[in-house]
Structure 1
Amino acid sequence: MGNEISTIDITVIVIYFIAVMLIGLYVARSTKTGEDLFLGGRSFGWGLIGLSLFASNISTSTIIGLSGAAYSSGIVQSVYEWMTGIPLIIAALIFIPLYLKSKITTIPEFLELRFDNRSRTFFSAITIFTSIVVDTAGGLYAGSIVLQAFFPELVIWQTCLILALVAGLYTAFGGLKAVVYTDAIQAIILIIGCSVLSYMLFEKLDFSWSNVVSNAPEGHLSIIRPADDESLPWPGLIMAVPILGFWYWTTNQYIVQRVLGAKNIQHARWGVILASFLKIVPLFIMVIPGAMAIGLFPGLENPDQVFPTTVMKVLPVGLVGLVLAGLISAIMSSVDSTLNSASTLVVIDFIKTRKKDITEKQVLNYGRITTVVLMIIAAVWAPLIANFGGIWAYLQQMFSIIVPPIAVLFLVGVFYKRGNGTGAFWTLILGTLGGVILFILGQKDIWTLHYTYNVGIMVVISTILFIVISQFSSPPEVQKIQLYTFNKELLKTEKEVSWYLDYRYHIVILLAAIGFLMIKFW
């Protein structure tokens, strides 16, 4: 694949590891309460929120997967990145003010306020499970596999353990503030490293876009695919991508937690809009480089080798270390976020609800202990993923099972004020069960539709369930739910600001940018 990793590159990586640990542990000194641990004392400004949202979302599977997919099948998968702006616009307009005015610590807590404790418990339990078994363990395993491509002598279980220990320790002691501060640094390193790689690849193609296009197979640089396309059919693009994006960016604890830690609604809104603009960047520094590699490195059999190959064959000594530090950043920022959010859910939704007289000091201790326990579980489970082979790939489709009913409760629930706790709970149960049935039928080749179609189908079914069951059971108390449902006042700015600081103008610019990309890569 190229030259061996140099001593200079290894030194850069080691310095990065040490710096992240020191920053995380330094921040831990100011973590004294449960709110400090879980929400950073509600003190985050828009810059930290935006950078942390970007970093916590980008994983090694994102970097390797996007460049590999662009090389083998085209750029269509990138829509999950740059169409992030759509669900985040919905969050900025409606859900951020609802969440922050509710003073919640967890997203399931909002479901209890809007509906009842049954929905909160069910949603929280599912989120904890997927956070540790799929997200954290999956991130550790994928990250270890990627690092092994650069360092063949690495042992997977040892690598998983080291990554878990580093991320887990500063997360356990520093909490969300340590996560956000380290994420911000990791986001900058990641963007710089991948940008340098993209520039040098483009240089090898004489800075000519026509060379990129001419080397790519027909349709590779288009996001609109046939209805039977295996990667992302166009109906799935319409039905599933916005719904999956809404769930991920607006109701997913491990993403939204830094928004809940904002100093006010204004900074939270600015932060998610900054993240939306940043999410356009991977198209140019992770996706298109994969398309560039088609002409530069033809014949690669395994798409996962595209990114490691370009790094080793294009970058000079020193810069390889910088890009690898960015790659490790992607691992760490995903792992620390999922660990912190899962421990938050365990303590706030299960321990604190049962121990009403618990002190802030005890909440802090429970949070740290839970983080360490979850870190150990993820580190032990991660290497075992290799034994599941193709089954693990199927687990990624599990989100198409759990997302539809959850999305309906939030999207429909804030507008449909007749919706009640009974309707919400049974929508979660029956909607999830329906998703499981479609998933099983799909594995047995009885139900052959692409999983993105299933998302759209189950959203419709879950919506019908929610409305019908709510209509045939007692309505909620109007006074109880008015703070947790839509009203036009939510759309206003928190205070009068100049037009260039008004988040609504930022949204217009963001929509224009997304629209331009849609047209460009249609």
Structure 2
Amino acid sequence: METGISSIDLVVIGIYFVTVLLIGLLVARKTKTGEDLFLGGRSFGWGLIGLSLFASNISTSTIIGLSGAAYSTGIVQSVYEWMTGIPLIIAALIFIPLYLKSRITTIPEFLELRYDRRSRQFFSVVTIFTSIVVDTAGGLYAGAIVLKAFFPDLVIWQTTLVLALVAGFYTAVGGLKAVVYTDAIQAIVLIIGCSVLSFMMFGQFDYSWSKVVETAPQDFLSIVKPADDDTLPWPGMIMAVPILGFWYWTTNQYIVQRILGAKNIQNARWGVILASFLKIIPLFIMVIPGTMAIGLFPGLENADQVFPTAVMKVLPVGLVGLVLAGLISAIMSSVDSTLNSASTLLVVDFIKTKNSEITDKQTVKYGRIATLILMAIAAFWAPMIANFGGIWSYLQQMFSIIVPPIAVIFLVGVFFKRGNKHGAFWTLILGTLAGVVLFVLGQYGYWPLHFTYNVGIMSLVSALIFIGISLASAAPDPKQIELYTYRKELISMDNAGLPWHKNYLNWIGLLVIAIGVLVYVFW
């Protein structure tokens, strides 16, 4: 069944826009303090946290990219999604109690408590830059490109501006609470919309998995690729995916911020476990439909057209609007999260550290102004991405440069109590510079290794720098770092005496089994 965008579809999309704006206005009436704006008054339950984590992570580039990659190279890149459980398990066991007991507002703030202000500010600057120039602007641009596939008359700069204005408005007035509430709705819309599409595509194969397998090229349904594979070689999967996942899910402000806004440690833990289970779903509603498309729409020249083609040719009137609302949800949930986190970092890590006497009213004002300014920068930069061609894809690989030293000073620093402020700061500086050198060498053909190998190599180099410089300089005061390093009671903190269904360790066990089953099935 081939359809176009009907008036019913447009009404569904319009209802979505009105809903998120109303939520922002309603929440704004209760946003009185900086903690309200940046952490939602530390009031979030596990359901909101889990849904918001899922929605914030799924962008238009994720939806389009996963289905397109499955169409052109197979399902291997889906491991970034369903192996999310590994870093989130580490977060639940160790970092959630460390963060929440520290009462921090930003993740860089934790670095100051563990090390010193130099590391905090360096990390904060890097995070603000990547959040606005890469994540927010990239999300706006990718979203505009995708929407243009459905609405050819759209102008890119106008589309990015409208998306930025809507997301920037409810984020500025409602803060994190508006972000999390809208994310929860967006997650549900996204899951329902993509599930319907996946179900109807499966129906084209008479709901027979064997028929799907027959149409897919050999090894497209396997996650284990050769060591020289261009997409995700198996050694790179082992070395890089857990490290990139740890950075993204445990140290990335725009993700962790809703965890910092949890009611308590229990709700934060249950929330990340819910998110881990939800992250398994894209394999079935975004990735496998990409392999189904091989048999349904053979010969597509551009893999990015897989998802739009499936929506327009498979779904009837009305459901097209639902899926497009889910697609717009993916754009908005990523943009609102990055805007809110970047403004939080700017206000808390820089403005408030310079003037700790500012009032709650002033903090809210600065936060809203910062959100709007950062929104304008992202909206201005987004259309420029088209002028950079392949360079923009290189910027995505820059994460393989910034991630290793950050992951090391958090993960190694929590267990290696001899690690000190000098080791942390110089690991950030030297580790980043070494990563830049490898990146440049790679672009000129002198370092031909896949970027996932670079993540593993630079993580080892960063760990050696951190340990070496720390051992060569004075040890930190054990009492000063006691609350910010690993201790056995972290794992059982606020978990004793709970019934089996509330014991997060039981759910972690079930999650490990689920991931193990997926590895076995798609090996």
The verdict on a shared fold, with TM-score over 0.5 as the criterion, is yes
- Per the TM alignment, residue 110 of structure 1 is displaced from its structure 2 partner at its CA by 0.3
Paired with 2:96 and 2:31, the residues of 1 have a C-alpha distance of 25
The CA distance in 1 between the partners of 2:146 and 2:196, in whole Å, is: 20
- The residue number in structure 1 matching 2:503 is 502
**How far apart are the structure 1 equivalents of 2:236 and 2:221?**
18
Give deviations 1:484-505, integer Å, cap 9, x for gaps.
0000000004042101210000
> Percent identity among equivalent residues?
77
Q: Deviations over 1:68-88 (max 9, x none)?
A: 000000000000000000000
1:214 partner amino acid: E
* Counterpart for residue 207 of structure 2: 207
Partner of 1:53: 53
Q: Deviations over 1:176-200 (max 9, x none)?
A: 0000000000000000000000000
Checking the alignment, whether the CA contact within 8 Å between 1:88 and 1:272 is kept in structure 2 is: yes
Report the counterpart of residue 377 of structure 2 in structure 1: 377
Counterpart of 1:352, as a letter, is K
CA distance in 2, matches of 1:146, 1:428: 36
Aligned to 1:515: 516
CA contact (8 A) 1:493 1:502 kept: no
Deviations 1:236-291 (A, max 9, x none): 00000000000000000000000000000000000000000000000000000000
TM-fit CA distance, 1:49: 0.1
Q: Which amino acid aligns with 1:511?
A: V
Deviations 1:19-71 (A, max 9, x none): 11111111111100000000000000000000000000000000000000000
Question: Which residue is equivalent to 1:457?
Answer: 457
CA contact (8 A) 2:3 2:315 kept: no
Deviation (angstroms), 1:3 = 3.3
Q: Which residue of 1 aligns with 2:108?
A: 108
The answer to whether the Cα contact below 8 Å between 1:9 and 1:317 also exists between their aligned partners in 2 is yes
Return the alpha-carbon distance in structure 2 between the equivalents of residues 348 and 397 of structure 1: 29
Q: Deviations over 1:95-154 (max 9, x none)?
A: 000000000000000000000000000000000000000000000000000000000000
Alpha-carbon distance between aligned partners in 1 of 2:244 and 2:237, rounded to the nearest angstrom:
10
Name the CA distance, whole Å, in 1 between partners of 2:110 and 2:389: 37
Of 12-21 and 149-158, more deviation after overlay is shown by: 12-21
Match of 2:160 in 1: 160
Q: Is the 8 A contact 2:3 2:317 kept in 1?
A: no
| Deviation beyond 2 Å, 4+ runs, structure 1 | 1-4
After superposition, give the CA deviation of every residue in 1:293-315 in whole Å (9 maximum; x if it has no partner).
11011111100000000000000
Is the contact between residue 216 and residue 295 of structure 1 (CA under 8 Å) also seen in structure 2? yes
Residues 3, 316 of structure 2: 8 Å contact kept: no
2:172 maps to which residue?
A: 172
Matched ranges for 1:22-61 at <5 A: 22-61=22-61
Deviations 1:174-226 (A, max 9, x none): 00000000000000000000000000000010000001111000010000000
Q: Is the 8 A contact 1:168 1:336 kept in 2?
A: yes
Kindly tell me the number of residue pairs found equivalent between the two proteins: 522
Query: Which residue is equivalent to 1:307?
Result: 307
SS in 2 for 1:32: coil
Task: Find the counterpart in structure 1 of residue 135 from structure 2.
Answer: 135
Which residue does 1:488 correspond to in 2? 488
Q: Using the alignment, how far apart are the partners of 2:37 and 2:356 within structure 1?
A: 19
| 5+ long unaligned stretches in structure 1 | none
Output the amino acid matched with 2:105. Answer: T
Q: Distance in 2 between matches of 1:426 and 1:338?
A: 27
Distance 2:3 2:321 in 1: 13
Q: Matched residues in 2 for 1:212 and 1:428: separation?
A: 47
For the residue of structure 1 that corresponds to 2:439, the secondary structure is: helix
Give the Cα–Cα distance (whole angstroms) in 2 for the partners of residues 377 and 462 of structure 1.
32
Partner residue in 1 for 2:340 = 340
Q: Any conservation in 2 of the 1:141–1:160 contact (CA below 8 Å)?
A: yes
Q: Which residue of 2 aligns with 1:396?
A: 396
Secondary structure at the residue paired with 1:407?
Answer: helix
Question: C-alpha distance in 2, partners of 1:4/1:42?
Answer: 44
Q: Per-residue deviation at 1:173?
A: 0.5
Asked if 2 retains the 8 angstrom alpha-carbon contact of 1:344 and 1:367, the reply is yes
CA distance in 1, matches of 2:238, 2:109: 30
What is the one-letter code of the residue matched to 1:519? Y
- Identify which range, 356-365 or 45-54, moves more after superposition: 356-365
Which residue type is aligned with residue 148 of structure 2? Q
Say which SS state the counterpart of residue 232 (structure 1) adopts.
coil
Q: Which amino acid in the other structure matches residue 320 of structure 2? A: V
CA distance in 1, matches of 2:312, 2:220: 25
Q: Whole-Å Cα distance in 2 between the matches of residues 25 and 381 of structure 1?
A: 27
Contact 1:227/1:234 (<8 A) preserved: yes
Note if contact 1:2-1:309 (Cα within 8 Å) is conserved in structure 2.
Answer: no
Task: Quote the Cα distance in structure 2 between the aligned partners of 1:242 and 1:432.
Answer: 19
Determine the structure 1 residue equivalent to 2:149: 149
The Cα of 1:2 is off from its aligned counterpart by 4.6
Report the TM-score, using the length of structure 2 for normalisation: 0.99
* 1:87 maps to 2:87: yes
In the alignment, the residues of structure 1 paired with residue 500 and residue 192 of structure 2 have an alpha-carbon distance, to the nearest angstrom, of 31
Distance 1:25 1:449 in 2: 50
Q: Distance in 2 between matches of 1:297 and 1:336?
A: 34
**Distance across 2 between alignment mates of 1:412 and 1:460:** 11
Distance 2:241 2:255 in 1: 17
Amino acid at match of 1:222: S
The amino acid across from 2:245 in the alignment is G
Is the deviation greater in 8-17 or in 93-102? 8-17
How many Å separate the matches in 1 of 2:118 and 2:338? 23
The answer on whether the counterparts of 1:9 and 1:319 sit within 8 Å (CA) in structure 2 is yes
Q: State whether residues 12 and 322 of structure 2, in contact with CA within 8 Å, keep that contact through their aligned partners in structure 1.
A: yes
Q: Kindly provide the amino acid, as one letter, of the partner of residue 280 in structure 2.
A: I
Once the two structures are TM-superposed, the CA of residue 4 in structure 1 deviates from its matched residue by 2.5
Q: Structure 2 counterpart of 1:465, which letter? A: I
Q: Secondary structure at the match of 1:414?
A: helix
For residue 420 of structure 2, what is the aligned residue in structure 1?
Answer: 420
